[in-house]
Chain A
Amino acid sequence: MSNNKDNKNSYLQMFRQMVRIRAFEEQANQLYLSAKMPGLTHMYVGQEAVAVGICEALTPNDKITSTHRGHGHCVAKGADFKQMFCELLGKQEGYCRGKGGSMHIADQANGNLGANAIVGGSAGIATGAALTAKRMGKKEVSVCFFGDGALGQGLLYETMNMAALWKLPVIYACENNLYGEYTKVEEMAAGDLMARAKGFGIQSFEVDGQDVLAVNNLTQELVERARKGDGPFFILLNTYRYHGHHVGDINREYYRSKEEEQLWREERDPITNFSQLLVDKKISTSEELKSIELQIEKDAEEAVNYALNAAWPDASEVNMHVFASN
């Protein structure tokens, strides 16, 4: 176990990253509500401890694949606000020069192979990245983030089977936020969610996805084991999305109650509860945490304003990058 000073740094880093995700999403939601953002976006708010707990156990060389609800993974893997907001707004300086948008942000410099708008669509990519790592003798690990909805996709089971056969260093991180789009998970997934990966002989773990330390401790252990060739692994992370399926999903009472939403927000919020822990254990003070929050909110606001004023891509971009040059 690392010493107290290291703990303090890594705890504050996790706090900071969770707050960054929330601040980013708050601005993204406002951009949608004020009709400044083209298209729709899917909010990660509520699930911050999952992305942060996992990504803080990875190095920049480790790979992740992300989902349509992917801003959290992207921030947690080290992305910069300005380039992210530029991408959300379709601007030239975005991570993908405005060609990907909210559902396709990729940040390869930090090991993010991209968000994917096909549910479960990146299971092959994450597994393939693990095949590369194994074949090239790199000690890298890849993490495939997906939601409970992806448990309905056959691709996931095909790739888990191969990952298990070939002992690939990949971690399948299933974020069960209880709803696939507008439908409860129990109406869509029969049987035991944990039994799926176990069926392939993949060691599977369940963790409270609102507890960043629990997620981080488990992931650190699994990453270390995966680097040694003990992979693959499956983690079921129980979590909750505070917003609807996307920003436009405002009236949700036909599929979930306001009481349920309130319960998660008030009693299980990953940031509130982690803040409390940091204060209780005297790792930080509420003043220090507040000032971190305020600074991050300011950063997010500045980044949004930067992106709003940033240049659109030139028309010549439209047929650029269809093919890579040889």
Chain B
Amino acid sequence: MREITFGAAVNEAMAEEMRLDESIIILGEDVAEAGTPFKVLSGLVEEFGTERVIDTPISEPGFTGIAVGAAMTGLRPIVDLMFGDFLFLIMDQLCNQAAKTHYMSGGKLSVPMVLRTNMGATRRSAAQHSQSLQALVAHIPGLKVAMPSSAYEAKGLMKTAIRDNNPVVIFEDKLMYNDKAEVPEEEYLINFGEANILRSGTDITLIATSSMVQQAEMAANTLADQNISAEVIDPRTISPLDETTLINSVKKTSHAIVIDEGHQNYGITAEIAARISEKAFYYLDAPVQRLGAMDVPVPFSPVLEDLTVPTAQQIHERVVMVLEGKI
């Protein structure tokens, strides 16, 4: 099968959907000729024109709000938020307006829009261009949140997001844009709320999101050398969350570690660990462990920044500690 990059997969998903549905537009900073700083949208304006691929001023709340209104009245906007850190700028429009409109109107109005943004540290971009803020939006009822972990996932989840009748936030790890994976030429979608078991195992369940899936798989490989069988699961969407698949896996392995690049405090890892404790407590042989980003603003200095993000080695070490009863 052909291999394409994560960025190309996102681009393909948007282009395919835009060919099918005239109501889809893209709004954001430097989305047209520039194709975004990461070049993920390159070529789209040439195909779809500036009427559908719309460069906006640097006004994140403004263009997000405009997308909400456009979505309420018949368009299906894809909002491009250049950095996930800018979520703090648009919280009212995303969380007070987009997320609540369907409910507050008793189901009369809906907001079919996609907000694609990014996450991920270790790009030496410091504290305001490196955050992974998925927990902030996953906390809000009315928003769906997808976290693709490969080019294949990115394409399938983006296409599903565009077709969804609700506001969907997609977090892409900006360090993965050039990562290649097998992506079929023919069309496919990936359903929300269906976790992917990447690797079957019997000793421990590793639940990981986005780029942490790669780290978990690397750890599973080194663990296999020590005859430890780790099951690796990617939830794909954290809202909705495929709780059943996660719980069933933990019931089988009796051990679990949750890995996500957001801050550990009150984060995605906390939520998933709590659900495991609520629903699989009597199957557990050790406390559920969490590995999130350190609870510090992301530092600039490479030697410091690298300390803040979970790694395959940390996962490996934590698995060994859990299985040896050292926690």
**Residues of B close to A322: CB separation below 8 A:** 102-103, 141-142
The stretch among B5-13, B63-71, B204-212 that forms the contact with chain A is B63-71
Q: Contacts A131-B66, A161-B59, A322-B141: A99 and B164 contacting too (C-beta < 8 A)?
A: no
Q: Contacts A132-B69, A162-B56: A320 and B107 contacting too (C-beta < 8 A)?
A: yes
A113 CB–B CB distance under 8 Å? yes
A-B contact count (CB 8 A): 156
Q: Mark B141-175, 1 if CB is under 8 A from A, else 0.
A: 11010000000000000000001111000000000
**Residues of A close to B67: CB separation below 8 A:** 124, 128
Q: Are A159 and B66 in contact (CB under 8 A)?
A: yes
Interface size on A, residues (CB 8 A): 47
Interface residues on B, range: 35 or more
Contact residues of B between 95 and 112, Cβ < 8 Å to A? 96-97, 101-110, 112
Measured between alpha carbons, how far is A8 from B142 in the docked complex, in Å? 48
**Residues of B close to A162: CB separation below 8 A:** 56-57, 59, 62-63, 66
Q: How far is the CB of B249 from chain A (nearest CB, A)?
A: 26
A300 CB–B CB distance under 8 Å? no
B25 CB–A CB distance under 8 Å? yes
The stretch among B72-80, B250-258, B270-278 that forms the contact with chain A is B72-80
Q: Are A129 and B62 in contact (CB under 8 A)?
A: no
Interface residues of B (CB under 8 A from A): 23, 25, 51, 54, 56-57, 59, 61-75, 77, 92-93, 96-97, 101-110, 112, 141-142, 144, 163-166
Pairs across A and B, CB under 8 Å, 9 listed = A113-B72, A113-B73, A118-B97, A124-B63, A124-B69, A124-B97, A128-B70, A321-B103, A323-B142
Contact residues of A between 55 and 112, Cβ < 8 Å to B? 63, 65, 94-100, 104, 106, 108
Measured between alpha carbons, how far is A161 from B62 in the docked complex, in Å? 9
Q: Contacts A124-B93, A125-B65, A128-B66: A63 and B104 contacting too (C-beta < 8 A)?
A: no
Q: Are B104 and A104 in contact (CB under 8 A)?
A: yes
Choose from A98, A125, A154, A161 the contact partner of B69 (Cβ within 8 Å).
A125
Known contacts A104-B105, A155-B93; 4 additional CB pairs below 8 A are A97-B107, A125-B72, A161-B59, A322-B102
Measured between alpha carbons, how far is A162 from B67 in the docked complex, in Å? 12
Q: Contacts A106-B105, A128-B73: A135 and B25 contacting too (C-beta < 8 A)?
A: yes
Q: Are A106 and B108 in contact (CB under 8 A)?
A: yes
Q: Are B61 and A132 in contact (CB under 8 A)?
A: no
A263 CB–B CB distance under 8 Å? no
Measured between alpha carbons, how far is A118 from B61 in the docked complex, in Å? 13
